[in-house]
């Protein structure tokens, strides 16, 4: 029997509700497995987040990364609460883990589920399914810059926020996108930049993209500016398979993608350290949703889908597919949360997914 050690960090708001839901599904899956491929999860939960910040002045323990290092994976909820500035909560926990563990590939599938009405009319006509690959270690979220109030005085403050693009950073994420495309039915990679306006970092990205694309002649590729890409997500989504973009652009585009699929609550994501030197982290795309937190109505599908991505990473692809099919069976049966126009609670959806594991 294989036991996976998982660190759970529910953090804030609905993060707690959806991580609990995902854990229930994974535990149900493990207790139902009675074959040679038996496995179990050994959970350690960390109470890091905004409450921890109010108690201690830190979003996570000072030796947090050291404590997380030994786990097989990290299952994360969401950070952020109105009582803490968002840049403090995000940098103090989620970005600290992503960047500290060099989780440079953030993979965000956009899945259109049966029984879920997409705001895209096309979704009823053509099968849609694409995946956003986000550079997760540098770019616009490199944290470079500063504010200078002292030099210029009140009312004249200046701030500089620089992006960092390295050839190695661009190359590894672009190569990752091509390797992922090679495993998909539609072998196509679209690169997104804004290299007309941002002539240094994004032009470097474009150059690397062209060079790497030439090594994959069996995979189609094209490049698109981010503003045009936003329109293309809506107007020609059937063209998309793998979309690779910088940290900021992919962040925005993946929220757009999940909204087109029906709701932000549906979207799953994986922050991979592909070399496996550090644990990878699995989390829904959405935030802590303070507007609905504590009501038991959060959509757990993004978190459960992230648990499925974690299963794949742990070497259990058949179990991952089982969870994905159970999610499809649940939405197809009309068991939908409020954000998808239904009335089912977080718990009802979770139980329906568990029932559908088969």
Q: For binding to ligand NAI (CB under 6 A), which residues are involved?
A: 14, 18, 78-80, 86, 90, 94, 264-265, 283, 286-292, 298-299, 302, 339
Strand order in the sheet with 105-111: 39-45, 2-11, 73-78, 280-284, 268-272, 105-111, 129-135, 242-245, 188-193, 220-225
What is the three-class DSSP state of 191? strand
Contact 133, 242 (CB under 8 A): yes
Residue with smaller CB distance to Mg ion, 142 or 335 = 142
Q: How far is the CB of 218 from ligand NAI (least distance, A)?
A: 35
- Helices 226-235 and 247-261: crossing angle in degrees, nearest 10, is 10
Residue with smaller CB distance to ligand NAI, 94 or 322 = 94
Question: What angle (nearest 5°) sits at the alpha carbon of residue 191, between those of residues 229 and 181?
Answer: 115
Q: Rounded to an integer, what distance in angstroms lies between the CA atom of residue 301 and that of residue 285?
A: 11
Residue with smaller CB distance to Mg ion, 72 or 251 = 251
Token pair in block for residue 75? 């299952």
- Indicate which of Mg ion, ligand NAI, none lies near residue 348 (CB less than 5 to 8 Å, by partner kind): none
**Number of chain positions touching Mg ion (CB under 5 A):** 1
Q: Rounded to an integer, what distance in angstroms lies between the CA atom of residue 326 and that of residue 23?
A: 15
Buried b (16+ CB within 10 A) or exposed e, 86-121: eeebbbbbbbbbbbebbbbbbbbbbbbbebbebebe
- Helices 14-32 and 317-332: crossing angle in degrees, nearest 10, is 120
Contact 72, 280 (CB under 8 A): no
Token pair in block for residue 19? 């991580």
Q: How far is the CB of 135 from ligand NAI (least distance, A)?
A: 16
- Indicate which of ligand NAI, Mg ion, none lies near residue 299 (CB less than 5 to 8 Å, by partner kind): ligand NAI
Query: Cβ-closest residue to ligand NAI?
Result: 80
Token pair in block for residue 2? 């294989």
- Indicate which of Mg ion, ligand NAI, none lies near residue 14 (CB less than 5 to 8 Å, by partner kind): ligand NAI
Residue with smaller CB distance to ligand NAI, 166 or 347 = 347
- Indicate which of ligand NAI, Mg ion, none lies near residue 18 (CB less than 5 to 8 Å, by partner kind): ligand NAI
- Indicate which of Mg ion, ligand NAI, none lies near residue 354 (CB less than 5 to 8 Å, by partner kind): none
Q: How far is the CB of 163 from Mg ion (least distance, A)?
A: 17
Q: How far is the CB of 116 from ligand NAI (least distance, A)?
A: 13
User: Which one among 24, 135, 138, 251 touches Mg ion, defined by CB under 5 A?
Assistant: 251
Stretch that binds Mg ion, among 77-85, 123-131, 248-256, 306-314 (CB under 5 A): 248-256
Q: How far is the CB of 103 from ligand NAI (least distance, A)?
A: 12
Residue with smaller CB distance to Mg ion, 131 or 314 = 131
Residue with smaller CB distance to ligand NAI, 18 or 219 = 18
Q: How far is the CB of 112 from Mg ion (least distance, A)?
A: 19
Q: Rounded to an integer, what distance in angstroms lies between the CA atom of residue 120 and that of residue 118?
A: 5
Q: Rounded to an integer, what distance in angstroms lies between the CA atom of residue 306 and that of residue 322?
A: 13
Burial class (CB in 10 A: 0-12, 13-18, 19+), 284: buried
Q: Is 24 in the site for Mg ion (CB under 5 A)?
A: no
Q: How far is the CB of 346 from Mg ion (least distance, A)?
A: 21
Residue with smaller CB distance to ligand NAI, 213 or 261 = 261
Q: How far is the CB of 97 from Mg ion (least distance, A)?
A: 15
Q: Is 140 in the site for Mg ion (CB under 5 A)?
A: no
Q: Can you give the binding site for Mg ion, defined by CB under 5 A?
A: 251
């Amino acid at each position: 029997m294989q036991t996976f050690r998982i660190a759970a960090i529910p953090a804030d708001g609905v993060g707690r509700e959806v991580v609990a839901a995902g854990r229930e599904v994974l535990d149900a899956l493990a207790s139902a497995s009675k074959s040679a491929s038996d496995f179990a999860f050994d959970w350690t939960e960390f109470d890091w987040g905004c409450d921890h910040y109010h108690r201690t002045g830190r979003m996570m323990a000072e030796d947090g990364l050291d404590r997380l290092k030994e786990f097989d994976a990290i299952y994360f909820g969401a950070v952020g609460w109105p009582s803490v500035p968002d840049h403090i909560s995000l940098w103090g926990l989620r970005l600290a883990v992503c960047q500290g563990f060099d989780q440079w590939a953030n993979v965000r599938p956009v899945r259109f589920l049966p029984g879920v009405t997409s705001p895209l009319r096309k979704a009823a006509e053509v099968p849609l399914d694409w995946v956003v690959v986000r550079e997760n270690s540098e770019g616009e979220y490199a944290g470079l810059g500063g504010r200078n109030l002292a030099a210029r005085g009140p009312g004249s403050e200046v701030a500089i926020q620089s992006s960092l693009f390295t050839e190695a950073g661009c190359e590894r994420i672009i190569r990752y996108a091509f390797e992922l495309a090679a495993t998909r039915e539609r072998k196509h990679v679209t690169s997104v930049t804004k290299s007309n306006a941002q002539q240094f970092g994004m032009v470097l990205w474009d150059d690397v993209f062209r060079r790497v694309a030439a090594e994959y002649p069996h995979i189609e590729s094209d490049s698109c500016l981010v503003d045009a890409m936003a329109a293309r997500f809506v107007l020609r989504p059937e063209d998309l398979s793998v979309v690779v973009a910088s940290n900021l652009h992919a962040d925005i585009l993946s929220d757009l993608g999940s909204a087109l699929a029906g709701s932000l609550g549906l979207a799953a994501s994986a922050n991979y350290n592909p070399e496996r030197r550090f644990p990878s982290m699995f989390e829904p795309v959405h935030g802590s949703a303070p507007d609905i937190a504590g009501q038991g109505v959060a959509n757990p599908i993004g978190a459960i889908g992230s648990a499925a991505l974690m299963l794949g990473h742990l070497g259990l692809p058949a179990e991952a597919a089982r969870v994905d099919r159970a999610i499809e069976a649940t939405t197809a049966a009309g068991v939908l949360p409020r954000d998808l126009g239904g009335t089912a609670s977080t718990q009802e959806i979770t139980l329906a997914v568990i029932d559908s594991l088969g």
